[in-house]
Chains A and B, each alone.
Chain A
C-alpha cells in the first residue's frame, strides 16, 4: 500500500504537521524521525486553557483548590511536547483527546446508560398463565392495550394504586418498552409504535435468520429511565421492569391484585424469561447483572448494530465493535469500576482514532482476498479453513505490516506512544482479520495471541509488564481442553480468567467475536434477541455508529437522556 493510500495519512498530516491551537506544529512530514519540542505547556491547547480557567474559577468559588495543571510533575505541566487533537476513525471528526474521557463525553455515558438500562423480557409465559390459569383471552388488541399501559407505567406512572407519587414524564422521557417477535402474523397485528419490525430494520437475509431463531416467541425490549439507572445500578433494571410489568398486567387485564393466581403471573411475567445484557459477577468483583464486567463479548457484538446497516463490510462491523468495546470495557469497566482515574482512556482511544487500526485491518482484508480467493468477503462458502497454518499466515502478515507502519511513520508511533496501545491495535487487526477469513472466532483469538508474541519479539517490548498475565499464556487457552479456559470467544467476557486486568484487550476480543460472524454474514453473534432489541432508532445512542457518536459527544453535539435541568435552578 503506497504512502498516499495509507488510511491514516490524512489524519496524521493534520494532527502532526498543522498547527492546532498554538502548538506550533506547522510543517514537516509524517515520516520525519526528528521533531521539534517547544515545551509550550497547556497554553498551547484550547481545551486545556478552558480547563485551567475553570479550575481557577472553581478554586475562587469554593475556597478550595482544584484542577491546576502546574501540579503535574511538580510544576512541569502537560504539553512539554505538542498537544495534538485526534480524529475519530472512520470519520473526519477532529476532537480534543480530553473529550474522549467518558466524563467529558455525553455520548459515551449514554452508550453505557442505554445498555445498562435495558432488559429483555419474554411475554409468552405471562400470556399462557393468563389464558390457562386465569381463563383470560389474550389477543393482539389486549397486547396493544397492555403495551400502552406499560409505556405509561414503566417510566414511573401509577396504574392501580390511588394517590400515588409518580415520576415527571419530562425527566424519564427516554424510558419505554417495545415488542418484537419472529411471528410475522402477530407482528402485523401489533400497533407499529410498539413494534421493532425485524423485516424493516434488517436486510432480508438477516431478517430470515433472526425470525427463524426467535420463532413464534415474543419479547419485550424495555429501557428503564436513564436517571433511575444512574442513581441505582444495572441490577436495578430487571427489578424496575418487573415491578411495572406486574402492575401493568394487573391493570390492563383487570386482575385482582391479591389473588394467588397473580403470584403465578408475577413469576411468569417478571422473572421467567429475563435476558440481562450482562451476567452477575462473583463476589470478588461484586456487581449485579447488567454491569459491564458481565457483558460477554458476544453480547456486545450483538448490541452494536453496524452489521445490519453495512453487512457487506465485515471489517467495518468489527471496527465499530472495537470502538464500542474499548470505550465500555477499557474506559468505563477497567478504567473506572476496576481502577480509576484517566490513564485507561489514553490507551483505549488508540483503537478508534486516526484510522491506524482501520488501515491495518483493511490491508489485511485485501491480503486475504488476494491470497484466499475472496475469503474476507461476506459469505459462508468462501471461508478458508481455520487451521494453525492459516492463522500463522494471516496474523503474521497483519502484524508485520502494522509493525512496519510504526517504523516507517514515526508520527504513528508517536500517536501510539505506549506499547499497550500498539499491542491493542496490532492484535485487534490480526485477530479480526483471521476471524473474518475463517468465520471462526477462536481462530481470530489465536491470531490475536500470535500477534502478541510476534510484536514482543520484534520490538523487545509489549504492553504493561509484557502483558505476561494474559497474552503470554493466551494461546494455551484458545483451544484448551478445559471447558472454562477453552470457551468460545463469543461467550467469554471481561470476567473470563486472565482477562480482568490489562487495558486494550476486551474491545479487541469483542471485535473478533463480531468479525467472525460479520464475515459469515450472520445476523447475530450469539443472541438474536439482543441483536433485535437494539435495532431501535428511538434509543438516544445510535448503536449503528458508535465511533461517530463518540465524535458527536466530543464535539458537544450529542444530546443525552436523563438530564435534571427541569428540577434544578437554571444557571
Chain B
C-alpha cells in the first residue's frame, strides 16, 4: 500500500487549509512575471545573470562520492548560485498563510531550502534561482493575499497590528499600497528600496474569502477551542515528549 501523508489533524477549514499548504496542493490565483518577482525581491536587476559563489558543479571536478551520485543537485546548486532569501509576513487577521505553514510548504515541496520560522516573519534561504521558485509559487497561490501578506526583509511587526482603514496590513516602510484601481502594488522592494516601476500583486481577497482560506485559528472565525482533534494531538505530543524525558524507551 502506498504511503499517503496525512500532514495535519483537525476537522475545521483551518486544519484543512493547513493540510493544503503542507502538501502543496494549493490553488493558483494570480501570476507574477519573472522580472516583477526579481524586482520586488531586490537581489539583482531584472534580466541580469545570477551571481555565483562557485563555478558550475560540472566544471569543478567533484570527487567520487556516493552521496553526490545519489542526490541530484538543485538547479541553483548546479549553477553555483549564491544563497539569497525571500521573507514573508502574514497578518494575524486571517492572513492566508502563517509562518510555520510557509516553512512546511517550502521544506516539503522544494529541495535545497532553509526555512526560518519566527512570529512575524518567515524566511526561506536557498540558491537564488531555487529561492525564486519558492517565492513565485507562494505568491501566485492562495498562500498569498496582496492585502494580508507581504514580502518584507525588515520591520515585520505589522503582522500583529490593527489593519489600515483600507484593510491592508500596516507596513512601517509602506512598501505596498492599495491604489484607487483596487489593485495592491509594490513600489519598494522587500527591504524598502524604491523600485523603478510599480509591481502589481493583484486585488485583495474579500474578508469572507480570506476567512475561508486562512490557516490561523481565531475566535472570531474558526476558534482554536473548536478543533478538538488538534488540541488532542498537541496534548499527545506533549505527553510523549514529557514521558520520553522521564523514561526514554
Interface residues of A (CB under 8 A from B): 32-37, 39, 73-74, 76, 80-81, 388, 392, 396, 400, 403-404, 407-408, 410-411, 413-414, 416-420, 422-423, 446, 449-450, 453-454, 456-466, 468, 473, 475-481, 485-486
Question: Within 8 Å CB of B85, what residues of A?
Answer: none
Question: Within 8 Å CB of B248, what residues of A?
Answer: 481
Question: Within 8 Å CB of B118, what residues of A?
Answer: 419, 461, 463-466
CB 8 Å contact bits of B182-220 with A (1 = contact, 0 = none): 000000000010000000000000000000000111111
Do residues A407 and B219 form an inter-chain contact, with CB atoms below 8 A? Answer: yes
Do residues B173 and A81 form an inter-chain contact, with CB atoms below 8 A? Answer: no
Q: How far is the CB of B117 from chain A (nearest CB, A)?
A: 5
Q: Report if B239 contacts A (CB, 8 A).
A: yes
Do residues B163 and A34 form an inter-chain contact, with CB atoms below 8 A? Answer: yes
Judged by DSSP, the binding face of A is helix
**How far apart sit A456 and B231, CA to CA, in the bound complex (Å)?**
12
Do residues A449 and B162 form an inter-chain contact, with CB atoms below 8 A? Answer: no
Q: How far is the CB of B87 from chain A (nearest CB, A)?
A: 13
Known: A73-B155, A81-B172, A480-B245. A410 touches B219 (CB 8 A): no
Query: Given known contacts A74-B192, A460-B216, what 12 new A-B pairs fall within 8 Å (CB)?
Result: A34-B165, A80-B174, A81-B161, A408-B219, A417-B161, A418-B120, A419-B118, A420-B119, A450-B235, A461-B120, A464-B118, A486-B246
Question: Within 8 Å CB of B97, what residues of A?
Answer: 460
Do residues B93 and A459 form an inter-chain contact, with CB atoms below 8 A? Answer: no
Question: Within 8 Å CB of A459, what residues of B?
Answer: 92, 98, 119, 216-217
Question: Within 8 Å CB of B7, what residues of A?
Answer: none
Do residues B162 and A410 form an inter-chain contact, with CB atoms below 8 A? Answer: yes
Question: Within 8 Å CB of A422, what residues of B?
Answer: 119
Contact of A33 among B163, B225, B231 (CB under 8 A): B163
**How far apart sit A36 and B235, CA to CA, in the bound complex (Å)?**
40
Return the chain B residue nearest A482 by Cβ. Answer: B245
Question: Within 8 Å CB of B116, what residues of A?
Answer: 465
Question: Within 8 Å CB of B93, what residues of A?
Answer: 33, 410
Return the chain A residue nearest B95 by Cβ. Answer: A460
Return the chain A residue nearest B117 by Cβ. Answer: A466
Do residues B245 and A481 form an inter-chain contact, with CB atoms below 8 A? Answer: yes
Do residues B119 and A462 form an inter-chain contact, with CB atoms below 8 A? Answer: yes
**How far apart sit A407 and B155, CA to CA, in the bound complex (Å)?**
22
Q: Report if B110 contacts A (CB, 8 A).
A: no
Question: Within 8 Å CB of A453, what residues of B?
Answer: 234, 237-238
Q: Report if B160 contacts A (CB, 8 A).
A: yes
Do residues A476 and B216 form an inter-chain contact, with CB atoms below 8 A? Answer: no
Q: Report if B224 contacts A (CB, 8 A).
A: yes
Contact of A404 among B157, B174, B219, B234 (CB under 8 A): B219
Known: A410-B162, A463-B119, A476-B244. A458 touches B224 (CB 8 A): yes
Question: Within 8 Å CB of A400, what residues of B?
Answer: 224-225
Q: Report if B68 contacts A (CB, 8 A).
A: no
Question: Within 8 Å CB of A414, what residues of B?
Answer: 160-162
CB 8 Å contact bits of B153-182 with A (1 = contact, 0 = none): 011010111111101001011100000000
Known: A36-B165, A403-B224, A453-B237. A460 touches B192 (CB 8 A): no
Do residues B230 and A457 form an inter-chain contact, with CB atoms below 8 A? Answer: yes
Q: How many residues of B contact A (CB 8 A)?
A: 52
Q: Report if B242 contacts A (CB, 8 A).
A: yes
Of B117, B160, B219, chain A has the most CB atoms within 10 Å of the CB of B160
Do residues A485 and B245 form an inter-chain contact, with CB atoms below 8 A? Answer: yes
Contact of B164 among A34, A465, A476, A481 (CB under 8 A): A34
**How far apart sit A417 and B155, CA to CA, in the bound complex (Å)?**
11
**How far apart sit A155 and B214, CA to CA, in the bound complex (Å)?**
64
**How far apart sit A467 and B68, CA to CA, in the bound complex (Å)?**
33
Question: Within 8 Å CB of A81, what residues of B?
Answer: 161, 170, 172
Do residues A417 and B157 form an inter-chain contact, with CB atoms below 8 A? Answer: yes
Q: Report if B241 contacts A (CB, 8 A).
A: yes
Do residues A481 and B246 form an inter-chain contact, with CB atoms below 8 A? Answer: yes
Contact of B101 among A76, A396, A460, A479 (CB under 8 A): A460
Across the A-B interface, give the 3 residue pairs with the lowest CB-CB distance, nearest first.
Answer: A419-B119, A460-B98, A476-B245
Return the chain A residue nearest B155 by Cβ. Answer: A73
Known: A76-B172, A479-B245. A454 touches B234 (CB 8 A): yes
8 contacts between A and B (CB under 8 A): A34-B164, A34-B165, A404-B219, A407-B220, A422-B119, A461-B118, A473-B241, A480-B245
Question: Within 8 Å CB of B223, what residues of A?
Answer: 404
Of A81, A446, A459, A464, chain B has the most CB atoms within 10 Å of the CB of A459
Question: Within 8 Å CB of A460, what residues of B?
Answer: 18, 97-101, 215-216
Q: Report if B4 contacts A (CB, 8 A).
A: no
Do residues A475 and B162 form an inter-chain contact, with CB atoms below 8 A? Answer: no
Do residues A35 and B245 form an inter-chain contact, with CB atoms below 8 A? Answer: no
Return the chain A residue nearest B246 by Cβ. Answer: A479
Do residues A480 and B246 form an inter-chain contact, with CB atoms below 8 A? Answer: yes
